[in-house]
Amino acid sequence: DQQVKQNSPSLSVQEGRISILNCDYTNSMFDYFLWYKKYPAEGPTFLISISSIKDKNEDGRFTVFLNKSAKHLSLHIVPSQPGDSAVYFCAASLNTDKLIFGTGTRLQVFP
């Protein structure tokens, strides 16, 4: 039972353009959503989060959008940079408890 899904295993974007990573979830009780970035041989690092009471949160080049009715969230990176190339995990939690992760999307930003 995959409660958090990332249906695109990979994404390739040109430097300077927008990267959009998508995530769907099934449990409407989730109240907190996060995006993590993972480089090879390193643990995931926190990128940005959003509470279920909001529909948008922005931090520099990163914006997360939440559509509760569709149970969908997305991460926008603009402009994309080569250093953004990594695996991005969407995660959800209930009452700030344990995180449930998606399967990840590998983003490659090329010059």
Applying CB under 8 A, which residues contact another protein?
Answer: 4, 6, 9, 34, 36, 41-46, 49, 89, 91, 96-104
Q: Work out how close the CB of 29 gets to another protein at its nearest, in angstroms, rounded to a whole number.
A: 16
Choice between 60 and 111, CB closer to another protein: 60
Least Cα distance to 5 among 37, 27, 38 occurs for 27
3-state secondary structure of 83: helix
Choice between 23 and 77, CB closer to another protein: 23
Choice between 44 and 86, CB closer to another protein: 44
Phi, psi for 83 (deg, rounded to 5)? -65, -10
Q: Work out how close the CB of 48 gets to another protein at its nearest, in angstroms, rounded to a whole number.
A: 10
Pairing of the two strands 19-25 and 72-77? antiparallel
H or E segment to which residue 38 belongs = strand 32-38
Q: Work out how close the CB of 88 gets to another protein at its nearest, in angstroms, rounded to a whole number.
A: 11
